[in-house]
Amino acid sequence: MITEGSLQDFSLPDLAQILSMGNSTGTLTLRSEGRQGQLYFQDGKLLAARLGDRWGALAGADLFIWTSGVFDFEPALPTDLKTDEPLSLEDVTREGLQELERWRKLGQELPDFFSPRAWVFPMQMYVDQKPAIVEVLGSGMTFAELVRKTNKGELQVLEEVTQLFKADQIGLSCAPEEQLRQIFHRVANELFNQFASISGVKMVDGLETQLNDQARKAHLGLRWRGGKVQDSLPDTWSKEQLVAAYRPLIATLQEFVAKIYGAAFIDRVVGPLLEEVPGPQRALWSELTSLPTPS
């Protein structure tokens, strides 16, 4: 049994099937874009599912929407596990895949930057009664936080958000924290992949191992899998917290590559990327790669 990995390499339906066919007992934990959920198995049967504070089949089905992130499997069950509602792995999987299809269709009606970390905010003043979801929004919050506040399923909240967005009653934007994540992912992935395209397997594996070991020692929810960074850092982190997490890893990546191919190689890869991104992201990249100010 694979004990940890990326949801891009092993989808949740595949993982669930492996655990079921292997008669496994333990806890499968998923982390994606600041969210965390668990599926609990005993002798290959699904005992319980949890997503945040929600339990049960609908919480389990929501986990199948997650197509990026990381997972780990611990061959143990918590002593206080809730098992009141009998679950069918087959039914939860079927419902989850239907949710994923609907999620993707709704996503086509929203801006390209939309993700669980997108900022959702009201667009108009209301004289009469506000829609319930706008009442919860206040001045604004991330989509992931909105899901937690409403205690509803992710797909249900997305359906409401999409309807209100199309009616110009709420807006969506990319917060500075999300722009920082985007420029970090884009440049880190491209630099790693360009390095991998001209390097031997041992060098590529060595770089990936060094980055993952560094993130693991710092207790950060960041892993490189197949040349791409998997980010499960909390969506509540501030820009300053993200900079503190990303900066040492970017430094390691650049130092490793520059030692072999020189700083000019990094400039040839990163320069064109920075010309394509919006000005705020270029400024964030400069902040990310500058030396920290002494305290």
Q: What is the pLDDT of residue 1?
A: 65
Q: What is the pLDDT of residue 225?
A: 86
| pLDDT tens per residue, range 88-97 | 999 999 999 9
Q: Which parts of the chain sit beneath pLDDT 70? A: 1, 84, 124-128, 291-295
Q: What is the pLDDT of residue 125?
A: 65
Q: What is the pLDDT of residue 291?
A: 52
DSSP structural state of residue 80? T
CA distance 137 to 142: 9
| pLDDT tens per residue, range 187-212 | 999 999 999 999 999 999 999 999 99
CA distance 205 to 54: 38
Do 96 and 61 contact (CB within 8 A), yes or no?
Answer: yes
Of 129, 114, 140, the C-alpha closest to 33 is 114
Of 289, 281, 290, 287, the C-alpha closest to 183 is 281
Dump the DSSP string for 82-147. Answer: ---S---HHHHHHHHHHHHHHHHHHHTTS-TT-STT-EEEE-S--SSPPPHHHHHHTT-EEHHHHH
Q: Is 274 exposed, middle or buried (0-12, 13-18, 19+ CB in 10 A)?
A: middle
Question: Which residues fall within 8 angstroms of residue 168, CB to CB, at 6 or more apart?
Answer: 123, 124
Written as one letter, the residue type at 210 is Q
Residue 44 corresponds to which tokens in the numbers above?
């290959």
| pLDDT tens per residue, range 56-71 | 888 899 999 988 888 8
Q: Which residue has the tokens 């990249």?
A: 285
CA distance 106 to 191: 32
Question: Which residues fall within 8 angstroms of residue 125, CB to CB, at 6 or more apart?
Answer: none
Q: What is the pLDDT of residue 267?
A: 94
Domain segments of the chain: what residues?
4-105, 109-173, 176-289
Do 281 and 242 contact (CB within 8 A), yes or no?
Answer: no
Q: Which residue has the tokens 């806890």?
A: 27
Do 12 and 30 contact (CB within 8 A), yes or no?
Answer: yes
* Type and span of the H or E element at 19: helix 12-21
